[in-house]
Amino acid sequence: MKIMVSACLLGENCKYNGGNNLSEKVLHYLKGHEVIPVCPEVLGGLSIPRLPAEIVKGVVTANDGRSVDKEFRAGAMKGLKLAKEGNVDLVILQSRSPSCGVKQVYDGTFSGKKIAGQGIFARLLAENGFRVIDVEDL
């Protein structure tokens, strides 16, 4: 299979705080498959590190109040293009990110409260017919 994966799950230091979400479970699962890493936020031109962001009333907003919606959506579009070009069979994404979250996201109050919902990239992929799973469900 061709599998697209949130790059942070592979150990790439592309998280907002400069860290990663390396998952041995993911590395194990990917053995024998073709892997396409993607970080939609970096693709959208955001820096590492960057301010944490949440979806506030539909607009991706950094915790200083500035909108980063344009960057998030541009990065998601670039990631979608890669998924289409790569003809990927499956996408595995990091939980609860405002880009990659598949089942849940933070509620936009920067208080750590989670709600049902999807990140910008996860939603775009699903809308375009890709099979997207949360790393927690792997």
> Of 3, 4, 7, 135, which lies in the binding site for ligand SF4, with binding defined by CB under 6 A?
7
Q: Is 41 in the site for ligand SF4 (CB under 6 A)?
A: yes
DSSP 1: -
DSSP 19-88: -----HHHHHHHTTSEEEEE-HHHHTT--SS---EEEETTEEEETTS-B-HHHHHHHHHHHHHHHHHHT-
Q: Is 68 in the site for ligand SF4 (CB under 6 A)?
A: no
Least separation in angstroms between CB 115 and ligand SF4: 17
Q: Is 6 in the site for ligand SF4 (CB under 6 A)?
A: yes
Q: Is 94 in the site for ligand SF4 (CB under 6 A)?
A: yes
What values do phi and psi take at 87, rounded to 5? 50, 50
Binding site for ligand SF4 (CB under 6 A): 6-8, 14-15, 39-41, 94, 97, 99-100
